[in-house]
Homo-oligomer: A and B are copies of this chain.
Amino acid sequence: MARNTTVKADQNAPAITELLAKFVVNHPSRGWDDNVEREAHRTFANWFGCAIGPSQHETVQAALAAVSELSPAPQAAILGRKERVDIANAAMINGISSHTFDFDDTHLKTIIHPAGPVASAVLALGEHIGASGRDMMDALIIGIEVSCRIGNAVYPDHYDRGWHITGSTGMLGSAAACSRLLKLDADRTQMALGIAASQPIGLREQFGTMTKPFHPGGAARAGLMAALMAKHGYTSSKRALEAPRGLLQVFSEKTDWSEVTEKLGETWEIALNTYKPFACGIVIHPSIDGCVQLKNQHNLKPEDVRKVTIKVHSLVLELTGKKTPTDGLQSKFSVYHSCAAGLIFGRAGEHEYSDEIVNRSDVVALRAKVEAIVDDSIDEASSDVTIETTDGRTLHVFIEHAIGSVERPMSDEQLKAKFMDQSAPIIGQEKAEKAYALAMQLASSADLKELLAAATLA
């Protein structure tokens, strides 16, 4: 058995487990400016709609069928449905649902989808303990701060290794948020973060399968249970995040600790959150945006297009390089299909990623005309799009920042339209209107009854 241990370790990492626990417990309620508060409500409302939209999808059905084998107690709501399950599994299922259409929010610095793991846990636990909207909003903002700061510290090395960073940091955000909501003291919150640290969830290899949306759902569940265990005295390492054999050093040899420690409680990652106008991986968005812009500017019809050439960062093809997707889920990982959809339909919502559309002959034909060229001088948030037309024109646009980015954010009206698009077919127009309005004023609600009545089926 004998061999040498050669893995490097940083023995002098700052005590971030303790630091974050104290931050979670001590930061004052509503201790941030109006912009943060506004973006947090947009985050919650966007997540809410994204969880309602796929609630009847086979991914959610399969997860719920498995959970039903446990005969769970009806403690908490599943958005868009009538069934109720225990809080841990409600957190899991709403987390799965919210990422099923790949349409949820994105923290662009890390490609984390921050709401899924945190909001799913906050909603389930908040409903069960009768938390106020204010307490839930505080928990959401603070939880997302924890997971995104951990993400900032390990990105990009951690992601490059193959972790799906949403789930592999999200359990910490969930544990932080649930600890806050349960009003655990700093010691127990530190234990909750430690218990969660042993449960990173998610591999990039799962992209294109149901296990991708499982990652935020599993992270929500793990963090919630970690907080419950800590509440009852379960212990963990006080240095579970930063120790030489703690989570961050196990993840990566390139951790930047200052991303956790600097200006903690002064700057807010949730203020940088963005919402997708297109129902696919964020790295495809600038290419779709370019195709839609050229279509609209030049009134292009599919038959006008001879060739589409996009120049993109290598990561775009690594993540979304499926040339010939055969179903809706695979098509979300195809920049080729996405460009064709943008050119034919002028949009790329959930419908444009359905099995039917993916296999439609005009879509397949146009997809085959899309060529992607790797150019690592182009940022992964950008795309250089050139269309050659059948009548010999060459059209070009460079998209530095896609619609939906921090630099070109969706307006509240666009966000509401997206919410209604997803929710109205499930819960009806009237309830969807109500759910959106209530979600956008969560912090001022005394309880969740009205909101959940609007967002579920009777």
Taking beta carbons and an 8 Å cutoff, which residues of A are in contact with B?
1-7, 58-59, 61-63, 65-66, 69-73, 75, 86-88, 108-109, 156-157, 160-164, 167, 194-195, 197-206, 208-211, 214-215, 218, 225, 228-229, 231-237, 239-240, 243-247, 249-250, 313-315, 318, 376, 378-381
Contact = CB atoms under 8 A, between A and B. Distances in A.
Contacts of A229: 62-63, 66, 214
A143 to B, nearest CB: 19
Top 10 A-B pairs, shortest CB-CB distance: A162-B245, A71-B73, A65-B232, A162-B250, A66-B228, A211-B236, A70-B86, A205-B245, A62-B234, A66-B229
Contact of A376 (B4, B7, B197, B376): B4
A211 B62 CA distance: 30
Given A160-B7, A203-B246, A62 B198 contact: no
Contacts of A239: 205
A133 to B, nearest CB: 22
Contacts of A235: 209-211
A2 B203 contact: no
Given A62-B233, A66-B231, A72-B73, A198 B194 contact: no
B234 A161 contact: no
Contacts of A218: 198-199
A163 to B, nearest CB: 6
Contacts of A108: 1
17 contacts: A1-B108, A2-B379, A2-B380, A5-B156, A6-B160, A62-B232, A70-B86, A71-B75, A72-B86, A73-B73, A163-B250, A194-B206, A197-B205, A199-B218, A205-B246, A206-B236, A208-B237
Contacts of A194: 206, 209, 211
Given A228-B66, A232-B65, A250-B203, A244 B162 contact: yes
Contacts of A164: 198
A198 to B, nearest CB: 5
A155 B264 CA distance: 38
> Which of A86, A203, A244 has the most C-beta atoms of chain B within 10 angstroms of its own C-beta?
A203
Nearest to A318: B5
Contacts of A225: 66
A199 B201 contact: yes
Given A3-B156, A70-B73, A71-B73, 13 more contacts: A1-B109, A1-B381, A2-B381, A5-B315, A61-B232, A71-B75, A167-B198, A194-B206, A195-B214, A198-B218, A209-B236, A209-B237, A210-B234
Count of identical protomers in the assembly: 2
Contact of A70 (B65, B72, B376, B379): B72
B206 A240 contact: yes
Contacts of A313: 2
A195 to B, nearest CB: 5
A328 to B, nearest CB: 13
Given A70-B86, A218-B198, A376-B2, A161 B236 contact: no
> Which of A164, A232, A245 has the most C-beta atoms of chain B within 10 angstroms of its own C-beta?
A245
Given A5-B315, A160-B5, A203-B197, A70 B62 contact: no
Given A161-B7, A250-B163, A243 B199 contact: no
A173 to B, nearest CB: 17
> Which of A7, A209, A239 has the most C-beta atoms of chain B within 10 angstroms of its own C-beta?
A209
A415 B244 CA distance: 37
A245 B210 contact: no
Contact of A240 (B1, B59, B205, B234): B205
> Which of A2, A244, A315 has the most C-beta atoms of chain B within 10 angstroms of its own C-beta?
A2
A59 B234 contact: yes
Nearest to A218: B199
A6 B315 CA distance: 11
A246 B207 CA distance: 11
Contacts of A236: 206, 209-211
Contacts of A6: 160
Contact of A7 (B70, B73, B162, B197): B162
A417 to B, nearest CB: 27
B198 A206 contact: yes
Contacts of A376: 2, 4
